[in-house]
Structure 1
Amino acid sequence: MNGLPGRVALVAGQTPQRTAMVDGARRIDYGQFWRQAQAFAAHLREQGLAKGQRLALLLPNRIEAAVACYGGWLAGAIVVPLNVQARVRDFAPWLLHSGARHVVYEQGHRDAELALEEIGYSGGRTALAEGEPLCPLPTEDDALEPQPIHDGDTALILYTSGTTGAPKGVMLSHANLAANAEAVVAYLGLSPEDRVLSVLPFYYAYGASVLHTHLISGACVVLAPSLMFPHLVLQALAQERATGFSGVPSTYALLLQHTALGEYDFSSLRYLTQAGGAMSPQLTNRLRAALPHPRLFVMYGQTEATSRISWLPPEKLDEKLGSVGIPVQGLHWKILHEDGSPADAGDSGEVWVQGPNVMQGYWENAAATASVLAEGWLRTGDVGYLDGDGYLFLHGRRSDMIKTGAHRVHPTDVEEVIAEMPGVTEVAVVGVDDEILGQVVKAFVVASGLPPRAEDRIKAHCRARLAPYKIPKHVAFVDALPRTASGKVRRVQLMELQSTP
C-alpha cells in the first residue's frame, strides 16, 4: 500500500498498542485507529461509494475526523475536508462543486444540514453524535481488501476560498502528501517518542500536515482545547508532556499576551513550528525569550504546495531574522520579474516553485489552474527575494486574500453580505494589521441615510450570515471608494487608511 495510508498501516502493524491520538479523556492506539479506518472504509463501500468519488468531512478536530480521512482513502475516495466553522453560503457551493457522494458531519450542525437541504442532496451521509465512533468494528471475517492507492491518485481537495465565483479546490495527490510529510519529518527529526499538541484544524493544509507527519512517524497527536482558553492550552502542553507545538503567528501572540508561560513546566518541549503568515522579527524574539529551550522553526507554505515550501533552520534565526529559509527537500524555486526575467540576489520578484509537493491543479477549474501552473512550476503570488546565501525573504502577497489568524478570507465573501443591507451602495473589504491575529477584516462602506448604530447593524447582519472570522472588526463609512481608471477598487489605498478604525 502506497502513500500515507501505507505508512500508518506499517506503524499499526508493528506497534499496535502505541497511542496514536488523545482527545480529552479519550485515547486511541494505532491498532484501534487502523481497525476503525478499515471499518469506515467497509461502511462507505456498502453505501456505494466508488473509487475516485468524493467524501466530504464537516468535522472539528476529533479522533473521528482523522479516522474518516484514512478510511476514505482505504475506500478509494477523494477526501474533501471542509471548514466546520463555515456557514450555509460556503457549504452549499463547496458540496455542489466537489460533487460529494457521502458527507460526514456532527449531529446538530445546523448549517451543514441546511446546506444539504438547499442543494437537494441525496447521497450518503453519516451524522455523528458527540464521542460516537464512525461505525461498528468489523469482525476478522469481514476484513477489508483496500482499494489500491497509486501515487498519482488524487487524495484531497482543499478549498482555499468561499463563494467568489467558481470555488477553488486544490487537488493534492497521494504523492504530494507523502512528499510534504517526508520533508517535514526529516527537518523536524520526528520519531515515535514525539507528542504534538495540535491546535490547527485538520481541514487546513498546515493542520493536516501536523496530523499526517506525526501519524506516519508513529508519534502521538494530542488534540488541544480551544484557543479561546489559552491557559487550558498551556496546561495541556505541560500535562501531556508535549514535545512539539505548531501555530500561526496569532497563536503565539495570543499565548504571550494572555498567559504567564513561566508558570508552566515545558521541559519536555523540543520544537515549535510557525507558518500560516509572516511572523514579525519582534514576535519571534519575544517567543524565543519566553521559551528559550525549544527549537523554533519558522516556515512558509501554501495549500497549492501541500502546505510546506520552506523552513528556516533554528540555528540560523539570528543570522537570517525575517527570512522564511531554504526550500524543503525535493523543492526548487526561482524569483522572476513581471516580464519573466530572473531576479538577481537581493532583487524582488514573484516566487515560483517546483517539486513533488506542487498540486495537481484546481478541481474542475482549468482556467484557474492554467493561471498558476506553468510547465510544472507554481506561481505562488508571493513577492520576495533571495539573499546571497539563497535564503528567501518575503515582502507580501500579490492577491487580496486576508490572513486572519489561521483563517483565509476573500474580501468578496464579506462584501456580498454587506451589500445586501438597505442603503448600502458600495462596499470594499481589506485586511488591516492586528497585533494578535496578524490581520483583521475592515469594511469601507458607502451608504445613504445611515440608520442609528449603523456599524453595529452591519456587524450583526454579518454575524448571522458569515463564519465568525469573516465578521468585520472595523467598519468605516466613506463618501466614495478609490478606484483605478478601469473602475477597479484601489485596495492598497484603502489599506493605507487602516489607522482610522
Structure 2
Amino acid sequence: MAVPAAASERDADRYRPPRVTGLADLLDRQVRERPYARALVVTGERVQLSYRALASLADEVAARLGGAGLGRGDAVGLICANTAEFVVALLGAARAGLVSAPLDPALPESQLSARLTTLGARAVLLDASASGRDVTLPVPAWSLRVDASGAGTAAVALDPGVCESAQVRPAAAELSERDALVLFTAGTTDRAKMVPLTHANVAASLRSICATYELGPDDATVAVMPFFHGHGLFAALLSSLASGGCVLLPERGRFSAGTFWDDMRAVDATWFTAVPAIHEILLERSEREYPGPQAPPLKFVRSCSAPLNTATQRALERTFGAPLLSAYGMTESSHQATSEPLPQRGALRQGSVGRPTGVAVRVVDRGGRSCPAGVEGEVWVQGPTVARGYLADGDESARTFVDGWLRTGDLGALDEDGYLSLTGRIKNLINRGGEKISPEHVEDILAGCPEVAEAAVFAVPDAVYGQRVGAAVVLREPDGVGREEILRYCRDHLAPFEVPDRLDLVTALPYTAKGGLDRKAVQARYAS
C-alpha cells in the first residue's frame, strides 16, 4: 500500500506555505515586509534580534567568508551550541554559496577531526563555547561572536584568515552550490554517514512543516533540540524563520528544564517540539514547575525522533492543555516525513505518527511489494525532501536509495486512511529461536507499567535460542516495585516469547545527543 502526499484540506486563502527556495533567501520576505519583527530572542538577557538585524549580520559574515578564499560549493563546519552565532554562521555561509556541516560540539576532538577531514571541509566556524575548548582541528578554525544589545542592535566579530587551497576529497567533490547542508546521521548502530541536502530539499521540507502546523508570524517557540540534527534545525529554527515567527535560544544555547517555562513565557510561545525523553522530564517536573494559568496558551506540542508511548502523550495533553502531535522523520528526508494533523485538520490516531507531509510513503514486504493496509513491512519514502544519497559511499547509497525511494529501515504499517504506525527498526529486531521481537514494542509495554519511568530492551546472546530478550528499567521511585511485579505486568500484556528473560533495575539509561535511546551503549552495558 502506497500513500501519496496528503492533499491540502485548507482554503488556499487561509494558509499558504512560505515561498522560499533554500537557505540563502530564507529571510528575504520578512526583511521586505516585516523588517523590525523579532526573529530571535538571545542570551540570558533575552535580547531581541529583528529580521533586518539578523539579515545584516548574515550578509556581513557572507562577505567576510567570500573574501577568505572560499569558493561556492565549498564545505565549512559549524561547531556551535544553539546560539545566535550558529544562526548567523549558517545563513551567512548560505548567502556566500557555501555548504554548511553542523557538528555536535560535545564530540571528542578525534571525532570532530575525522568528520571534518572525511567531508573535506575547508574551514570551521566556532562560537564562544566551542572556541574555548582546547582542541586542534585539521582545518582553519575561525571564532565568530555576535554582540547583541538591549536596543536591538547587533554586531558580528569574525576575522577569517586566508583559506589556502586544499586537496579535494571525494565527498567534497560531490558538492556544489546547489547544496545547502551536509548532516551526519546519528551513527549509534553504524558509523555516521554524510547526507547532502540541497536548497531545494530544504525549501520543500520547510514548506511542508509550516503547512502541517500552519505556522506564521504570530507563532513563537523555544529551541529545545540541538541544531546539529534535523529535528531542532528544520522543525524549530528554520521553519520558524521561514514563516516569520520567533525562536528563543536558551541561555548558553542549551535546553534547561529549570528555565524552560520562564523561556516559554518570555517569548509568548505558541508551540514547541522535543523528543520523548524531554517530554518525560517536563511531565515529571510539571507538578512543581508548570506555571498553570500563567503558561502561554499553546496551539500544539510536537514529539519526534523516537517513539512516544500513548500514556505519556495523554498525560502531557492533560497537563499542558494542548494536543500532542507525533511526527516521524529522518536525516535522509530532510527531517519530517509524516505527522499527525492539527485537530481541526484531521483525527488523531492512537499509536500513529500521522499522515505523509509533502512526500509519498509506502510499506513494502521483503520482495519490495506494497503491503495491504494493516500489514507490517519496511517504510519507504519518496519526494522532494529526500536526499540523493550519501556522500562518498556508493555502496550504502545503492542499498538505501532505490529507484527514487528511501528505504528507511523502519518497520510499520499504513491504515486505510494513510496513517502510519511504526513498530520498530529492522536492525533492532531480536531473533529468539525464530520469533522476531521488536524491542520498541516491548519498551512501549514496559512504559505503560505505572511504576516504570524508562525502559530499554536489547538482545542477550543465548546458546539455545540464539538471542533472548533483556530489559533495563528505571523506576519512578527507587524503592518501588521489584522485578517480579514488572514481569507479571509484562506477562499480562505481551506474548510469552516477548516477555523479558532478564530484567535489570538501573538508575539511568544512556541517550544520544539527539535525545534518542543510545542502543549501542545499552547493548554494550547490559547485554553481556
TM-score using structure 2 length: 0.70
* Pairing of 1:153-168 with structure 2 (within 5 A): 153-162=178-187, 167-168=192-193
* 1:127 corresponds to: 143
Deviations 1:320-366 (A, max 9, x none): 1100111002x111111112222111110000110000012111111
* 1:248 corresponds to: 275
- Which residue among 210, 218, 227 is the counterpart of 1:202? 227
The aligned amino acid for 1:252 is H
The aligned amino acid for 1:43 is R
Q: Distance in 2 between matches of 1:391 and 1:469?
A: 25
Q: Distance in 2 between matches of 1:433 and 1:324?
A: 25
Q: Secondary structure at the match of 1:85?
A: coil
- Which residue among 186, 189, 199 is the counterpart of 1:174? 199
The aligned amino acid for 2:300 is Y
Instruction: Structure 1 unaligned segments of length 5 or more: list them.
Output: 138-149, 405-429, 437-458, 482-501
Q: Distance in 1 between matches of 2:311 and 2:254?
A: 22
1:78 matches 2:94: no
Instruction: Structure 2 unaligned segments of length 5 or more: list them.
Output: 1-19, 149-154, 160-174, 430-438, 444-469, 477-507
Deviations 1:287-334 (A, max 9, x none): 111112x332211100110000001124389751100111002x1111
Q: Secondary structure at the match of 1:3?
A: coil
* 2:462 corresponds to: none
CA shift, 1:135, in A, is: 3.0
Q: Secondary structure at the match of 2:294?
A: coil
Deviations 1:352-404 (A, max 9, x none): 11000001211111111111001110000000011122211110112359999
* Pairing of 1:448-459 with structure 2 (within 5 A): none
* 1:367 corresponds to: 395
- Which residue among 284, 305, 311 is the counterpart of 2:313? 284
* 1:273 corresponds to: 302
Q: Secondary structure at the match of 1:180?
A: helix
The aligned amino acid for 1:235 is D
Decide whether aligned partners of structure 1 residues 476 and 136 sit closer, same or farther in structure 2, where only a CA change above 3 A counts: closer
CA shift, 1:228, in A, is: 6.6
* 1:9 corresponds to: 28
* Pairing of 1:45-60 with structure 2 (within 5 A): 45-60=66-81
- Which residue among 344, 354, 360 is the counterpart of 2:372? 344
* Pairing of 1:420-439 with structure 2 (within 5 A): none
Q: Distance in 1 between matches of 2:524 and 2:204?
A: 43
CA shift, 1:77, in A, is: 0.6
* 2:479 corresponds to: none
* 1:213 corresponds to: 239
Deviations 1:139-159 (A, max 9, x none): xxxxxxxxxxx9981110001
* Pairing of 1:395-410 with structure 2 (within 5 A): 395-400=423-428
* Pairing of 1:92-131 with structure 2 (within 5 A): 92-107=113-128, 109=130, 113-116=134-137, 121=138, 123-128=139-144
* 2:41 corresponds to: 22
Larger deviation, residues 102-111 vs 367-376: 102-111
1:307 matches 2:351: no
* 2:418 corresponds to: 390
1:334 matches 2:334: no
* 2:258 corresponds to: 231
Q: Distance in 1 between matches of 2:390 and 2:371?
A: 28
Question: Would the aligned equivalents of 1:238 and 1:264 in 2 still touch at CA under 8 Å?
Answer: no
Decide whether aligned partners of structure 1 residues 397 and 281 sit closer, same or farther in structure 2, where only a CA change above 3 A counts: same
Q: Distance in 1 between matches of 2:474 and 2:24?
A: 40
Q: Distance in 1 between matches of 2:320 and 2:393?
A: 44
Q: Secondary structure at the match of 2:335?
A: coil
CA shift, 1:247, in A, is: 0.8
Decide whether aligned partners of structure 1 residues 168 and 27 sit closer, same or farther in structure 2, where only a CA change above 3 A counts: same
Q: Secondary structure at the match of 1:284?
A: helix
Question: Would the aligned equivalents of 2:301 and 2:325 in 1 still touch at CA under 8 Å?
Answer: yes
* 2:4 corresponds to: none
Q: Distance in 2 between matches of 1:319 and 1:78?
A: 38
* 1:193 corresponds to: 218
* Pairing of 1:463-482 with structure 2 (within 5 A): none
1:62 matches 2:88: no
CA shift, 1:94, in A, is: 0.6
Deviations 1:403-446 (A, max 9, x none): 99xxxxxxxxxxxxxxxxxxxxxxxxx9956689xxxxxxxxxx
Q: Secondary structure at the match of 2:135?
A: helix
Q: Secondary structure at the match of 1:4?
A: coil
* Pairing of 1:482-493 with structure 2 (within 5 A): none
Decide whether aligned partners of structure 1 residues 88 and 253 sit closer, same or farther in structure 2, where only a CA change above 3 A counts: same
Q: Secondary structure at the match of 2:25?
A: helix
The aligned amino acid for 1:27 is Q
Decide whether aligned partners of structure 1 residues 195 and 151 sit closer, same or farther in structure 2, where only a CA change above 3 A counts: farther
The aligned amino acid for 2:299 is R
Deviations 1:219-272 (A, max 9, x none): 111113577742310121123211111111111110010233254522432221
* 1:455 corresponds to: none
Question: Would the aligned equivalents of 1:311 and 1:326 in 2 still touch at CA under 8 Å?
Answer: yes
The aligned amino acid for 1:384 is G
Q: State the structure with bigger RCO (CA 8 A, min sep 6), 1 or 2.
A: 2
Decide whether aligned partners of structure 1 residues 379 and 283 sit closer, same or farther in structure 2, where only a CA change above 3 A counts: same
Question: Would the aligned equivalents of 1:91 and 1:112 in 2 still touch at CA under 8 Å?
Answer: no
Question: Would the aligned equivalents of 1:88 and 1:112 in 2 still touch at CA under 8 Å?
Answer: no
The aligned amino acid for 2:81 is P
The aligned amino acid for 1:20 is A
Aligned pairs, how many?
412
* 1:184 corresponds to: 209
Decide whether aligned partners of structure 1 residues 85 and 130 sit closer, same or farther in structure 2, where only a CA change above 3 A counts: farther
Question: Would the aligned equivalents of 1:104 and 1:128 in 2 still touch at CA under 8 Å?
Answer: yes
Q: Secondary structure at the match of 2:27?
A: helix
* 2:323 corresponds to: 295
